[in-house]
Amino acid sequence: MIHPSIRRETASLTAFMNALWREWPHAAMIGSNAHDLAGPAGALRLPLTRPGGALIVPLCHYSPAGRHRFTGELHFISFNDEAFELDFAQAVALLAGEPTLAPGTSDNARRLFLRRVLDSANTLLAAETSRQQDMQALAWPAADYLAAEQGLIYGHAVHPTPKSRDEFTPEDLRRYSPEMAGSTPLAWMALKGAALWHTDVGMATAQDQLNALIASDPALAPMAQAYPRADGWSLLPVHPWQAHVIRQTQAYRYWHQQGDLIDLGEAGASWFPTSSLRAMYAAHAPAQLKFSLSVRLTNSRRVLQPTEVARGRLIHGAFASRLGRQLQERCPTLGILHETAALALATPAGEPLAESFVIFRDNPFPAGTTAYVMATFCQDGVAGAPSMVARLIQDLAHASGEPLATVAAAWFDRFLEVALKPFLIAQADYGFLFSAHQQNTVLALEGGWPAGMWFRDCQGTTFRAETIAALAGEVPGIQAASELAFDEPMTNQLFGYYLIVNNVLNLVATLGGDGIASEAELSRQLHAFLQGLRREPLRYPHFIDFLLNSPEIMGKGNFMICFGDINETTQPEGSFRSYVPIHNPICSAGLA
């Protein structure tokens, strides 16, 4: 009999074990007769040398697409066949201390990893407990954009710390975390003259965009009147948590002493953290706001770098170019949430203070919009309930009277056509590459059917070298993107992970795990779709050929990145080296 408290952390266990299984060569699948402890789908066996034995983690669904589901049970079997149950914390402690897992990792890094895993598990459990009703109601068509953004309770589906918030207090969690349905007014600083750094993409100025944002909230009118633009003042929106960091900086003290910075505190209507936490949304506002946030989330500290901020201008310019307009005309279901301006507190030398960056991002999602971030759309349901996408397809089948398998196949075909194809065309014919993972993509629905895909986060966009050369005459500064102009093998690795493994195959695993469709059949559909696309005359077909013909595809090593305390923002080379080969079900489908 499994104690209920053990099963309560199934979501954390599942994300942790899927990440570990992908990367640790010693992890192995065993059959359902292993000591009578394996589930109906077998179990994961994790060998241990200290103490000698193995952890047995039973499965309830084995996924060829790579995102397995676990029962929530954990057992330790010693070399002399003694067996007993463990809870999640005990199992993680054993693994964090296992010398064959990432040999050479320091004791300090192992202890930090253990702390972050348990912090994430505590956050996730608190959110799951407090948001039960919200999660049960998270369904089309009642749920809207914000509901899905704040509905990502479980976080990254293949990560040891999907909800690590170890630098947040309980009050911080309540106010600033989407999984706790957080909301907060923004903090504001009045800056005069050279104290404000700003840039824009060359359409509406940064100041005009700021004025429009302030005008959208009547509660800010007194503040705007007290510090008018005519007197040289500008108002800088600041994430309230980050405001504490900014107040400790030399730049803040300098301008405050000069009388050119007035700290106004929090004011105005509530803003809501989205699934990315540092990006804030308000239905009334003409822009979403993405802030620097000096806190580690999953694999990096989220302080924006100047090169990241500059990429918004490059991406906007690329899409305004002749080549970009051609891509948009050919792929009208691809939407880009452009980053149109950035503001920051200036240093005394006139440079932007990275900790104070705020980026203005398009906001085409008024209240009630049925557009859902893919990570939430494919998230496991609460207490064994189906996912959002599974419930949607079930509802469509019930309404139409068609067999579930028929509707599922038609829905997936529509998804491939309107959501996946534009990204593949952008790469294969135009040399535009998007890190289109599930948290960077928002699926728009019409009548429950896929109607388009929004891409956000310009920092995750780059180009082929040939594309950069072609844009040089139209997009000033585009040569700066050359640092991320990947060759074909790197494109296959990164694009294969973000777009295919993290996004499309995650959808396949969700539909398979929820019993909506066979993963094998969905993989055959995907293979046939890619074959059809490959018959078109494409300039750079290597990625589609890779998907069709390579028996292995690359998966990102989130477990070892976290275990080694690598910061992806400042140590990207460590992230690039972390990729591991995993089974490619698309290729297998073509051989069946």
Return d(Cα 221, Cα 223) in angstroms, integer. 5
Residue among 244, 321, 298, 245 at smallest CA distance from 475: 321
- How many H-runs (helices) and E-runs (strands) does the chain carry? 25, 24
Return d(Cα 319, Cα 325) in angstroms, integer. 6
Backbone angles phi, psi at 291, to 5 degrees: -110, 155
Give residue 435's pLDDT band: very low, low, confident or very high (50, 70, 90).
Answer: very high
- What token pair was written down for 408? 């599922």
Q: What is the pLDDT of residue 107?
A: 92
pLDDT tens across 272-303, in order? 999 988 999 999 999 999 999 988 766 567 88
As a whole number of angstroms, the longest Cα–Cα distance in the chain is 81
Planar angle of CA 430, 434, 437, nearest 5 degrees: 145
- What token pair was written down for 279? 């990006």
Task: Tell the burial category of 530 from Cβ atoms under 10 Å away from its Cβ (0-12, 13-18, 19+).
Answer: buried
pLDDT tens across 354-385, in order? 999 999 999 999 999 999 999 999 999 987 78
H or E segment and range at residue 322: helix 322-330
Q: Out of 136-145, 249-258, 559-568, which region has the weakest mean confidence (pLDDT)? A: 559-568
Q: Out of 185-189, 192-196, 376-380, 456-460, which region has the weakest mean confidence (pLDDT)? A: 456-460
Q: Is the pLDDT of residue 465 over 60?
A: yes
SS3 readout for 139-207: CCCCCCHHHHHCCCCCCCCCCCCCCCCCCCCHHHHHHHCHHHCCCEEEEEEEEEHHHEEEEECCCCCHH
C-alpha to C-alpha distances, 209 to 121, 165, 215, 235, 309, nearest whole angstrom = 40, 32, 10, 12, 16
pLDDT tens across 99-158, in order? 999 998 999 999 999 999 999 999 999 999 999 889 989 999 999 999 999 999 999 999
Q: Is the pLDDT of residue 3 over 80?
A: no
Neighbour count for residue 535 (Cβ, 10 Å): 7
Return d(Cα 117, Cα 562) in angstroms, integer. 9
HSE-CB for 428 with a 13 A CA cutoff: 22
Q: Which strands sit side by side in the sheet containing 449-455, from one edge to the other?
A: 334-336, 449-455, 441-446, 371-373
Q: What is the pLDDT of residue 299?
A: 58
Total-model pTM: 0.95
Looking at the chain, the whole-number percentage of residues with pLDDT higher than 90 is 82
Return d(Cα 245, Cα 266) in angstroms, integer. 15
Q: What is the pLDDT of residue 282?
A: 98
- What token pair was written down for 588? 């297998």
Q: Is the pLDDT of residue 353 over 70?
A: yes
pLDDT tens across 32-59, in order? 554 456 667 899 999 999 899 999 999 9
**Selected residue with higher pLDDT from 178 and 484:** 178
pLDDT tens across 304-349, in order? 989 889 889 999 999 999 999 999 999 999 999 999 999 999 999 9
Q: What is the pLDDT of residue 5?
A: 36
Q: What is the pLDDT of residue 232?
A: 94
- The whole-chain average pLDDT of the chain stands at 92
Q: What is the pLDDT of residue 569?
A: 57
What lies within 8 Å, CB to CB, of 99 at 6+ separation is 49, 50
Return d(Cα 120, Cα 38) in angstroms, integer. 26
pLDDT tens across 474-531, in order? 999 898 888 777 789 989 999 999 999 999 999 999 999 999 999 999 999 999 999 9
What lies within 8 Å, CB to CB, of 292 at 6+ separation is 239, 242, 278, 302, 303, 304, 354, 355, 356, 357, 358
Return d(Cα 337, Cα 542) in angstroms, integer. 28
**Per-residue buried b or exposed e for 57-88, using 16+ beta carbons within 10 Å of the residue's own CB:** bbbbbbbbbbbbbbbbbbbbbeeeeeeeebbb
Could you give the 3-state DSSP secondary structure of residue 278? coil
Question: What is the DSSP track for 334-346?
Answer: EEE--EEEEEEEB
pLDDT tens across 212-235, in order? 999 999 999 999 999 999 999 999
H or E segment and range at residue 224: helix 221-226
Neighbour count for residue 52 (Cβ, 10 Å): 10
Q: What is the pLDDT of residue 302?
A: 80
Give residue 576's pLDDT band: very low, low, confident or very high (50, 70, 90).
Answer: low
C-alpha to C-alpha distances, 78 to 27, 81, 87, nearest whole angstrom = 16, 5, 16
